[in-house]
């Protein structure tokens, strides 16, 4: 067992797990006051769902070995197999090196499970304020098995996107961000717009809570990207963490500049949203690009996400409540494409570099193809899951108009995030 690698992965897994409470605070602050508790609850329930589903089913589908691409079995292009259901064979931490040399298999499963948790948490940002809590739970549970597991296999487990197409995704541009943002958009469209959307004030109700949440996310993201190097001795983890810092800082500044030019103000919520956009954009290429390229990626991606949030939503009329699609899906797509331009050949997993280094468009085309496959899988599978869940919940994914008007905190959970404290609470 490689002790230094094991410590890196366990610490990184802890940081990634810490991101989900940060996301909950971020989303809670962005939501309306009457829905803050429900928004936090929907985000945090991803911990319970993913912890169980990843152990029971998701890890095996993503990284099992029953269906091997080397056997020319087409099923192996999509799923890993069922030989690791319930973490079969991992009764102790003594199994080492099946996936990463020197790393206990259990540590690898834990690290990957933390990614699954945060992915589920991101999705609910699109449907906050109107989707039934039980429907959220059922949808996310099915989504782990039918979308996240297969997609993780296709990208990281030797499947269609990473192996056959040859697309690069260092830490989850496709698997985490594009998938969650697109799934959120599909669910938002199927749920319909919030009551009074377009007329009522939907601004963030608690900007300090938003800032605290983003600070936790930012901190955890260094484990998210740094740990994805899956090595402690070759400098890639250090590069990934430096690129995470540079891209997020550049994206914050570029968002603030666009915000000032567009509205006359550089808002706090805008600044931290720009930070998140930069983190999303660098994720697919954190270990593949130079710090200068990372700064360029953050600088470019942030205004694109700004445009998607400020203009695209109103142009197409969808109600992506907390902009999971505008920030995560759009940021992930931009970051993935830029990897095809800026990837350093010596850092590439496939030895193919970006267009600006090699004048060869093959990696760029692979990146685009990988994103296209991700979009197709997520849209079709999420819509199918939502239709099944909708049928199981009385033909509707959303709460009653009366409950929505009163607020989800009281009607769904019987709690109030901001009680009056008048002696009766």
Residues 6+ apart with CB under 8 A from 210: 25, 26, 29, 30, 204, 268, 269, 272
Domain locations in the chain as residue ranges:
3-408
pLDDT digits (tens, 9 = 90+) for 42-81: 999 999 999 999 999 999 999 988 665 555 578 889 999 8
| 10-24, 76-90, 336-350, 401-415: least confidently modelled range | 76-90
Q: What is the mean pLDDT of the chain?
A: 94
Q: Under CATH, which number does the domain 3-408 receive?
A: 1.10.3430.10
What band does 425 get if pLDDT is binned at 50, 70 and 90? very low
pTM of the model: 0.95
pLDDT digits (tens, 9 = 90+) for 307-335: 999 999 989 999 999 999 999 999 999 99
CB 85 within 8 A of CB 60: yes
Phi, psi of 330, rounded to the nearest 5 degrees: -65, -45
pLDDT digits (tens, 9 = 90+) for 135-177: 999 999 999 999 999 999 999 999 999 999 999 999 999 999 9
Identify the burial level of 180 via C-beta atoms within 10 angstroms of its C-beta, where 0-12 means exposed, 13-18 middle and 19 or more buried: buried
pLDDT digits (tens, 9 = 90+) for 353-366: 999 999 999 999 99
Phi, psi of 104, rounded to the nearest 5 degrees: -55, 135
Residue 362: how many other CB atoms lie within 10 Å: 14
Q: How far apart are CA 114 and CA 411, in angstroms?
A: 31
| 69-83, 216-230, 272-286, 402-416: least confidently modelled range | 69-83
């Amino acid at each position: 067992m490689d002790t230094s690698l094991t410590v890196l992965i366990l610490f990184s897994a802890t940081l990634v797990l810490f991101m989900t409470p940060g996301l909950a605070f971020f989303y809670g602050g962005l939501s309306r006051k009457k829905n803050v508790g429900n928004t936090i609850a929907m985000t945090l329930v991803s911990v319970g769902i993913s912890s169980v589903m990843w152990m029971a089913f998701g890890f095996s589908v993503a990284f099992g070995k029953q269906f091997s691409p080397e056997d020319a079995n087409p099923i192996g292009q999509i799923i890993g197999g069922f030989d690791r259901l319930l973490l079969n064979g991992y009764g102790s931490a003594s199994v080492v090196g099946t996936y990463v040399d020197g790393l206990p298999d259990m540590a690898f499963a834990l690290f990957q499970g933390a990614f699954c948790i945060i992915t589920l948490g991101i999705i609910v940002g699109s449907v906050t304020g109107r989707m039934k809590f039980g429907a959220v739970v059922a949808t996310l549970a099915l989504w782990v098995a039918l979308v996240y597991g297969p997609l993780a296999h296709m990208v990281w487990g030797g499947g269609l996107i990473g192996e056959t197409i040859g697309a690069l995704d260092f830490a989850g541009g496709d698997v985490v961000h594009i998938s969650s943002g697109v799934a959120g958009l599909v669910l938002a469209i199927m749920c319909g717009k919030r009551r009074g959307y377009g007329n009522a004030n939907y601004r963030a109700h608690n900007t300090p809570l938003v800032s605290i949440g983003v600070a936790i996310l930012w901190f955890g993201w260094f484990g998210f990207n740094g740990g994805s190097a899956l090595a402690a001795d070759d400098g890639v983890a250090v590069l990934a963490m430096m690129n995470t810092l540079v891209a997020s800082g550049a994206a914050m500044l570029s968002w603030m500049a666009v915000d000032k030019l567009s509205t006359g103000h550089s808002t706090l919520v805008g600044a931290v949203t720009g930070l998140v956009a930069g983190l999303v954009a660098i994720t697919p290429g954190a270990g593949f690009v130079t710090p200068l390229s990372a700064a360029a990626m953050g600088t470019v991606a942030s205004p694109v996400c700004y445009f998607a949030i400020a203009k695209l939503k109103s142009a197409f009329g969808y109600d992506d409540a907390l902009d999971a699609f505008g920030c995560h899906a759009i940021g992930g797509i931009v970051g993935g494409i830029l990897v095809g331009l800026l990837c350093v050949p010596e850092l590439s997993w496939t030895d193919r570099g970006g267009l600006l280094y090699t004048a060869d468009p093959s990696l760029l085309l692979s990146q685009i193809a990988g994103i296209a496959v991700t979009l197709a899988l997520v849209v079709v599978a999420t819509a199918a899951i939502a239709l099944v869940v909708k049928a199981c919940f009385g033909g509707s994914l959303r709460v009653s108009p009366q409950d929505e008007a009163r607020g989800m905190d009281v009607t769904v959970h019987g709690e109030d995030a901001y009680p009056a404290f008048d002696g009766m609470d």
